[in-house]
Amino acid sequence: MKQTGAIALNTFKETIRDRVLAIIVLFALLMIVGSLWLGSISLGEEGRVMKDFGLVAVTFFGLVVAAFIAAGLIHKEIEKRTVFVLFSKPVSRAAFIAGKFLGLALTMAVVVAGMGLFLFLVAWVIDGSPTWMVLAAIGLIYLQLLVIVAVTIFFSTFGSAILASVLGICVFVAGQLSTNVLSLTRLGENAVTEALSWVVFVLIPNFTAVDVKPAVVGEQAADWGSIGSWCVYLVAYVVAVLLLATWVFRRREF
């Protein structure tokens, strides 16, 4: 646990100091501000448009950070041979993977919280009152991004950094189409197709189970029960993927 914490803190220091991160966050903030302009041509629906596009900005830029930085975490250590320093000490592969994940999760928390808070405050100014659901939506976006971090780390344990980041983004897109895959499982035409669809449906993360946007823009009340079980699912998914990554990484030699 101690090693995990040390590696996590080290990873946090490494990633938060990355200048590219600052540029990405800057662009995200610009996009949020830009969505205000879109709101101005929305016939009185500035708040709604601004929140919607703002959440898209947070998701998009958060995804860029998640996929590209996560992909480099392990590769950098191997390329720069700092793995020799690490694994010559009593550090397990599990602690390493967990530490890398937690470190980047902490960085992502700072980044997403920063963007989210900015969005929340701007929305407050526009609407004249706070929309607390924006914070809940940001929290759910954060969880989804953690899934992508975990998945990208998994791919980076055996693939190149570029491959891992591309696959991470593909998994994100696939996760957005989860419902479509579910409908394939109900075609009832061919047992093989159905079985395969089920396998794919279970393997890809389900990012469509809950939609909080209607609650964010005030169209309907949030279903906290569904949100809660979705969160449990996402956390379980992250843990399972990280354990798989550990299992693969154990077999890696340096």
Residues that bind another protein (CB under 8 A): 2-3, 5-7, 9-10, 13-14, 17, 80-92, 94, 179-180, 182-183, 186-187, 198, 201-202, 206, 208-209, 229-230, 232-233, 236-237, 239-240, 243-244, 246, 253-254
Dihedral angle at the C-alpha atoms of 59, 114, 224, 64, nearest 10 degrees? 20
Rounded to the nearest whole angstrom, what is the least distance from the CB of residue 129 to another protein in the complex?
A: 29
Rounded to the nearest whole angstrom, what is the least distance from the CB of residue 132 to another protein in the complex?
A: 26
Rounded to the nearest whole angstrom, what is the least distance from the CB of residue 117 to another protein in the complex?
A: 26
Q: Tell me, what DSSP letter sits at residue 157?
A: T
Rounded to the nearest whole angstrom, what is the least distance from the CB of residue 251 to another protein in the complex?
A: 9
Spatial distance between the Cα atoms of 234 and 184, rounded to a whole number of angstroms: 22
Rounded to the nearest whole angstrom, what is the least distance from the CB of residue 124 to another protein in the complex?
A: 29
Rounded to the nearest whole angstrom, what is the least distance from the CB of residue 138 to another protein in the complex?
A: 22
Kindly tell me which of 86 and 217 has the beta carbon lying closer to another protein. 86
142 contacts: CB under 8 Å, gap ≥ 6: 62, 108, 109, 112, 113, 116
Spatial distance between the Cα atoms of 230 and 192, rounded to a whole number of angstroms: 28
Spatial distance between the Cα atoms of 18 and 33, rounded to a whole number of angstroms: 24
Spatial distance between the Cα atoms of 39 and 36, rounded to a whole number of angstroms: 5
Kindly tell me which of 44 and 186 has the beta carbon lying closer to another protein. 186
- Listing DSSP states for 27-60 in one string gives HHHHHHHHHHHHHHTSSS-HHHHHHHHHHHHHHH
Spatial distance between the Cα atoms of 115 and 134, rounded to a whole number of angstroms: 11
Rounded to the nearest whole angstrom, what is the least distance from the CB of residue 169 to another protein in the complex?
A: 17
Kindly tell me which of 7 and 32 has the beta carbon lying closer to another protein. 7
Q: Two tokens at 151? A: 């998945």
Kindly tell me which of 128 and 253 has the beta carbon lying closer to another protein. 253
Dihedral angle at the C-alpha atoms of 61, 65, 71, 72, nearest 10 degrees? 140
Spatial distance between the Cα atoms of 64 and 128, rounded to a whole number of angstroms: 32
Kindly tell me which of 79 and 117 has the beta carbon lying closer to another protein. 79
